[in-house]
Amino acid sequence: MKKLLLATAIAALSVSAANAAPTLYGKVSLSVDVVDSDISDSTDVSLNSTASRIGLKGSEALTANTDVIYQLEYVVNPDDADGKQFESRDTYIGFKNNTAGTFKFGRNSSVTDGINNVQQAFGGIQGTVSGIADGNRVDNSMIWTAPTAANLPVQLNLMASTEENFGDAGYGASVMFDQGAGYTLGLAYTDTLDADAEVLRVTGSYDMAKTMAIPAEVGIMYQQADWNNVPGSVKEKELMVTGAYSVANTPWTVWAEFDQAKDWAGIDDAKITKIAVGGRYAFNQVATGHIYAGNVDYKNVFSVDGDDMIVGTGIEYKF
């Protein structure tokens, strides 16, 4: 009898340990970029890491309807050991309940980032040209994702942060409509989350493969940013339009991106415009090669005019 009880206890502990084991994941992404700068009158070659990361994530059942969830994700730079090595990305602990939804506490991506369904560039020309931090993460924040109600294709997120980020407590909300029919619509508003500014963002995307048997996808993002506590500032307006096409019977996907911010960072008449094209080559499900070229034009940005021409190639590996 004692042996049976001991065997049962060991089996129970083994199951518990297996359930609690976190998942290790990450991405190594490097590019070689050649930048011909009209502003600095120079041509430079650099090796750059593009959002390389490593992380642990997992969950554990607390009750029949509630799980504790966690994620620890950090920046890694394979090309150097600068100050951002092992800087935290999304790091949180929280709870997921079948009725109440999901709560995450810690350092979370802004709700504006959660509605971005545009195809963004890679390597040295990745990221938006907005004065708003791209893919901003909010320290000391809580985000709530509402549970799906009656199978409605809508996702609602509410977010709040403490006063430690910009001197004032921040808040925001986003909603995403996606019924799996090939198109999405997103709307987000934040105040003192992405920056010391009020941000309104609208996005949309259309996957033609789901309705027209054309392997192409287009996306659009428009946002306005009203900067707080900046005397004489005006509203920044940004428009991004992207497209991608999967070449039939090949591992290639070609893409193009247009991104323009007017009154950049609240500076009257300041403008940044980016035009980029490129291709992705899928070696397999975890390894992808990249080639790209782009031009970034600056007008009246801190009284500077000029442009940067960027050509590059890179590879990323996910695990």
Q: What pLDDT score does 10 carry?
A: 41
With bands split at pLDDT 50, 70 and 90, how would you rate the model's confidence at 26? very high
Q: What pLDDT score does 1 carry?
A: 45
With bands split at pLDDT 50, 70 and 90, how would you rate the model's confidence at 14? very low
Mean pLDDT for 26-32 is 95
Q: What pLDDT score does 7 carry?
A: 46
**Most confidently predicted of 1-5, 131-135, 147-151, 294-298:** 294-298
Rounded distance, CA 138 to CA 111, Å? Answer: 10
With bands split at pLDDT 50, 70 and 90, how would you rate the model's confidence at 131? confident
Write the class of the CATH domain 26-318.
mainly beta
Q: How far is CA 270 from CA 14, 51, 225, 284, in A?
A: 61, 28, 14, 42
User: What does the DSSP 8-state code read for residue 167?
Assistant: S
Coil, strand or helix at 124: helix
Judged against a pLDDT cut of 50, whether residue 15 lies above it is answered with no
Judged against a pLDDT cut of 50, whether residue 22 lies above it is answered with yes
Rounded distance, CA 292 to CA 1, Å? Answer: 69
Judged against a pLDDT cut of 50, whether residue 262 lies above it is answered with yes
DSSP string, 174-205: EEEEE-SSSEEEEEEEEESSSSSEEEEEEEEE
Q: How far is CA 52 from CA 26, 120, 128, 136, 318, in A?
A: 7, 16, 18, 16, 9
The closest alpha carbon to 102, from 71, 78, 72, 132, belongs to 71
Average pLDDT of every residue of the chain: 88
User: What does the DSSP 8-state code read for residue 147?
Assistant: P
The closest alpha carbon to 69, from 47, 85, 93, 91, belongs to 93
Domain ranges of the chain: 26-318
* Radius of gyration, CA atoms only, the chain: 22
Residue 262 φ then ψ, to 5°: -100, 150
Q: What pLDDT score does 248 carry?
A: 94
The closest alpha carbon to 126, from 278, 317, 298, 301, belongs to 278
Across 125-139, 157-171, 186-200, least confident range: 125-139
The closest alpha carbon to 105, from 70, 65, 62, belongs to 70
pTM: 0.86
With bands split at pLDDT 50, 70 and 90, how would you rate the model's confidence at 124? low
